[in-house]
Amino acid sequence: MRIHSKQIIAEKRAEVLVVGSGSAGAATAIAAAKTGADTLLVERYGFMGGVSTQVLDTFYGFYTPGSSPRKIVGGVPDLVVDALKKRGAMLIRPNTYGAGDGVTYDPETLKMVWESLALEAGVRLLFHTFVMDVLMEGARVAGVVAATKRGWFEIRADCIVDATGDADVAAWSGAPYEGPDEGPVQSLTTTFRMTGVDDARARAVRKDALHALLAQAAESGKYDLPRREGSIHITPYPGVMATNMTRVGDVDATDPEQLTRAEVEGRRQAMEYARFLRDFVPGYEHAFLTDFSNQIGVRESRRIRGVYRLTKEDVLAARKFDDAIAQCGAPIEEHHSGRDTHWEYLPEGATYDIPYRCLLPQLVEGLLVAGRCLSAEHDAHASVRSMGQCMAMGQAAGAAAALSCQGETLPHALPVDTLRERLAGMGAVL
């Protein structure tokens, strides 16, 4: 059988091509353009932000957890928070759920913040474009093939950053990676918001009281609540609460059939948790579920096998590296299948470094990754994946990609001091 529509309808070019516009990809593109590169950002959906606008509303990782929070992320991430603040669309939630101070925002405003920061920096945006294959020249990733309503495009670039979350570009180029076939991956969550909440009464319900009510409802046999320690929090808007309660385990998020079943199950669970909230929790009696996340939230799928692989020991020992491009102080937060979530902390106030080598895949050239598909063990990944760190990694990958183009060198050969100097100049905390 012949594929009738298999034709390349156009060719595009960029110095730096960024695939995926989540926290990592958005920061990558902004940093690359600000470093002077002609930058193209390709995204499969019609807006930027990935999980930051599709699923969530709180940046973690900006501050260390504990009694004396220290800000450990800066530069492009600060531009994002400042723009949200200017629009009255954010608030700081102190040390929530042990993860440190969170920056809670309105995701709809963030969609506009991301695109205005990108456009102001000079990034060319291309939405509704799904990258589906790579163009190789020897070991170098020279471009990608993208699917659109008009057919297929080839996009060639001097340097490519894979910020797809799932390491799509790296996987198709033949770079080694690990994923659900090699070991455990975290469970998935459909988030949802409740509107019409009596804020004062709902806020008076503390975490332990909520968990006791979840257990009581589940044990009554009348509610199907697989997770018993889900969280719920205030938003910038009166009467609106955001949740992180559902849990769908054992899913390979790169398999569309498994992901389809997970979407259906996530929404089913969300309706069940909303019923529980109305029936059991003070303040929710007249509230209703207004929106599900745009898609089910995927915490972990493919992680590349990079030049360095961040380990659990690096995290818990707060290890420092000469090629540090960002810091992280977040605990290991393990969302496995089952009722609870497991937390393991660094020493109070400590941080570890994220090495540049974790963004460099093995075996292929001309390619960097940023965000949750970095090179890390499963346990280390459970700490390093917060959006603050994804933005910081993106900033580093974008600067590295632009500097590589300017120096006519490959990202693997870029002198790390040059990169760190550029990052310090942008306001990164190293």
Ligand X SMILES: Cc1cc2nc3c(=O)[nH]c(=O)nc-3n(C[C@H](O)[C@H](O)[C@H](O)COP(=O)(O)OP(=O)(O)OC[C@H]3O[C@@H](n4cnc5c(N)ncnc54)[C@H](O)[C@@H]3O)c2cc1C
> Exposure of 172 by Cβ count < 10 A (0-12 exposed, 13-18 middle, 19+ buried)?
middle
Determine the longest span between alpha carbons in the chain, in angstroms. Answer: 66
Single out the residue of 127, 130, 223, 321 in contact with ligand X (rule: CB under 6 A).
130
Give the pairing of strands 192-195 and 240-244. antiparallel
What tokens does 75 get?
Answer: 């530069």
235 is a contact residue toward ligand X (CB under 6 A): no
14 is a contact residue toward ligand X (CB under 6 A): no
Comparison of 164 and 173: residue with beta carbon closer to ligand X: 164
Single out the residue of 14, 19, 41, 396 in contact with ligand X (rule: CB under 6 A).
19
What tokens does 326 get?
Answer: 């960002």
Q: Note whether 381 and 300 are within 8 A (CB).
A: yes
How far is Cα of residue 369 from the mean position of the Cα atoms in its chain? 13
- Exposed e or buried b per residue across 327-344, where buried means at least 16 C-beta atoms within 10 angstroms of its C-beta: bbbbbbbbbbeeeebebe
96 is a contact residue toward ligand X (CB under 6 A): no
Q: Which region among 157-165, 201-209, 345-353, 409-417 touches ligand X (by CB under 6 A)?
A: 157-165
Number of residues lying near ligand X (CB under 6 A): 39
Helix (H, G, I), strand (E, B) or coil at 20: coil
Strand partners, 90: 105
What tokens does 364 get?
Answer: 């292929």
Single out the residue of 25, 74, 75, 361 in contact with ligand X (rule: CB under 6 A).
25
x-or-dash pattern for ligand X, window 272-311, by CB under 6 A? -------------------------xxx------------
Q: Note whether 23 and 117 are within 8 A (CB).
A: no
Number of alpha carbons in the 13 Å side-chain half-sphere of residue 190 = 22
Single out the residue of 35, 39, 58, 173 in contact with ligand X (rule: CB under 6 A).
58
Number of alpha carbons in the 13 Å side-chain half-sphere of residue 204 = 7
Q: Which region among 51-59, 208-216, 358-366, 415-423 touches ligand X (by CB under 6 A)?
A: 51-59
Single out the residue of 17, 21, 314, 376 in contact with ligand X (rule: CB under 6 A).
21
Q: Which region among 30-38, 50-58, 208-216, 321-329 touches ligand X (by CB under 6 A)?
A: 50-58
Comparison of 242 and 419: residue with beta carbon closer to ligand X: 242
For the segment 241-260, give every residue that binds ligand X (CB under 6 A).
244
Q: How far is the CB of 219 from ligand X (least distance, A)?
A: 25
For ligand X, the binding residues (CB under 6 A) are: 19-25, 42-45, 50-52, 55-56, 58-61, 130-131, 163-166, 168, 189, 191, 244, 297-299, 371-372, 385-387, 390
